[in-house]
Amino acid sequence: MAEPAVKANELVKWFGEGEARTVAVRGVSFEARFGEMLYIVGPSGSGKTTLLSMISGILRPNEGTVTVEDQDIWSLASDQIAEFRLNRVGFVFQDYHLFPRLTTLENVAIPLILKKRDWRESLNTAMEYLEIVGLKDRAQLPPVKLSGGEQQRVAIARAIAGRPDLLIFDEPTASLDGDTGRKIVDFVKNNILNDQRCIIIVTHDSRIYEYSDRIMRMEDGRITGVEQGGAREE
């Protein structure tokens, strides 16, 4: 049995106060292991994005702890949390989070440049990842010139270019056609996932369920079940 990469313990998150309070996550505990693709599924508003944000160092929980490889991340100082996000986590969000004033290539190179790698080497590596997601010919364009699906592929290239050990994807294939979505997840599964990495994917896209190792279901801020995914044995 692989070691856990992420341990969430009794996480609670609410937004607003008094009558306006919404409790998004109501005491969630789970483990995600190295070497697995864990999917989190559930209806809209069930707390999936809020949970991802807490385990990836973006959103501080009101209660509970998140341990990533024996490090209680929310006990760290804020600059250490920022460092954790930069060095250990790759993100792909529903709305891409690309920088509009940078080229597509520079967007993919950002995590490498922030890690103080050489500028030219970063751009070369970024180009390799753009090629992998089929967008080498868009390298010099700003993201606004790309379709939604293409922007999502840029976000995926950026997340994997830094080769982080924890990859967090929030609806990564929502605006991709079936073939492109499967191709990208297939690539991530076969080339990025390894025994030192853990990939957590929130998705409604049943076309990519076959790549999951486990599927965790959420409803109304709680986990309602965990089942084996559709991943085929090697």
Ligand X SMILES: Nc1ncnc2c1ncn2[C@@H]1O[C@H](COP(=O)(O)OP(=O)(O)OP(=O)(O)O)[C@@H](O)[C@H]1O
Among residues 37, 38, 41, 50, the one that binds ligand X under rule CB under 6 A: 50
Verify binding: residue 173, ligand X, rule CB under 6 A: no
- DSSP character string of 34-103: TT-EEEEE--TTSSHHHHHHHHTTSS--SEEEEEETTEEGGGS-HHHHHHHHHHHEEEE-TT----TTS-
Binding mask 94-133 for ligand X (x = CB under 6 A): ----------------------------------------
* Residue 197 token pair: 């990495």
Residue with smaller CB distance to ligand X, 4 or 47: 47
Among residues 5, 49, 56, 152, the one that binds ligand X under rule CB under 6 A: 49
Among residues 2, 3, 10, 45, the one that binds ligand X under rule CB under 6 A: 45
Amino acid, single-letter form, for residue 140: Q
Verify binding: residue 22, ligand X, rule CB under 6 A: yes
Q: Are 118 and 195 in contact (CB under 8 A)?
A: no
- Of the candidate spans 15-23, 26-34, 142-150, 192-200, the one that interacts with ligand X by CB under 6 A turns out to be 15-23
Verify binding: residue 56, ligand X, rule CB under 6 A: no
- Of the candidate spans 16-24, 111-119, 138-146, 186-194, the one that interacts with ligand X by CB under 6 A turns out to be 16-24
Verify binding: residue 152, ligand X, rule CB under 6 A: no
Taking the CA atoms of residue 231, residue 190, residue 172 and residue 42 in that order, the dihedral angle to the nearest 10 degrees is: 20
Q: How far is the CB of 206 from ligand X (least distance, A)?
A: 14
Among residues 15, 118, 119, 195, the one that binds ligand X under rule CB under 6 A: 15
Among the listed residues 24, 84, 20, 82, the one whose alpha carbon sits nearest the alpha carbon of residue 51 = 24
Residue with smaller CB distance to ligand X, 4 or 221: 221
Give CA–CA dist 98/95, Å, rounded: 8
Binding mask 24-43 for ligand X (x = CB under 6 A): x-----------------x-
- List residues bridging with 28 in a β-sheet: 11
* Residue 50, CB-side half-sphere exposure with 13 Å CA sphere: 24
* Residue 179 token pair: 């073939």
Verify binding: residue 44, ligand X, rule CB under 6 A: yes
The DSSP code for 225 is: E
Verify binding: residue 224, ligand X, rule CB under 6 A: no
Verify binding: residue 11, ligand X, rule CB under 6 A: no
* Residue 77 token pair: 């100082």
Give the interface with ligand X as residue ranges (CB under 6 A): 15-16, 22, 24, 42, 44-50
